Amino acid sequence: MLDVIHWYVVRTKPRREDYAQDQLTRRGVETFLPRISEIGRSGWEPVVGPLFPGYLFARVDLASQYTRVVWTPGVRSFVAFGEVPTPVDEGVVDFIQRRCGEEGVIRVVLTFHDGDIVRVRSGPLEGLVGIVEGQVSARRRVQVLMELLQRR
């Protein structure tokens, strides 16, 4: 039987993304924890944190690695809609990975203003149109990720 390996979103315990990633890696699970560099509360000092707080990506064969992942310290569960964990389109993960620099960090440089209408020109989200509402909070980034997963 052939293994079917896909990317999945794994929910971590609060502020335990790094720990969960380390533990999964030690268990032989390929992971991706995208990070973002944004201006912190001071208004001038950059702060690096998870792009999707409380979540990371794991590339696994669900049939053989499900238990290994969910019993890993720092992990809460797979993200699922219904009973079955939802695979993430390979193109979405690739798109995010390509935006990360060598350190695995996305650097945010805002060139848009509130109210600007934007259209995604390439990648798996090509054609989507939106309105800029300012810098997106960590909570809102997670909502966008979940909305993308539900479109599968």
CA angle (94 as vertex; 104, 62 as ends), nearest 5: 100
* pLDDT for the residue 116: 80
Domains in the chain, please, with CATH?
A: 5-109 (3.30.70.940)
Residue 23 above 90 pLDDT? yes
Higher pLDDT, 51 or 103: 51
Assigned token pair, 141? 């980034």
State if pTM tops 0.85.
no
* pLDDT for the residue 1: 46
For the sheet containing 46-50, what is the strand order? 46-50, 35-39, 105-107
Assigned token pair, 18? 């790094």
* pLDDT for the residue 148: 66
Contact call for residues 86 and 118 (beta carbons, < 8 A): no
Number of helices followed by number of strands (H, E) in the chain: 4, 10
Distance CA 50, CA 10 (A): 13
Distance CA 118, CA 132 (A): 7
Distance CA 75, CA 56 (A): 10
pLDDT digits (tens, 9 = 90+) for 52-107: 999 999 999 999 999 999 999 999 999 998 889 999 999 999 989 998 878 889 87
Mean residue pLDDT across the chain: 85
Contact call for residues 58 and 10 (beta carbons, < 8 A): yes
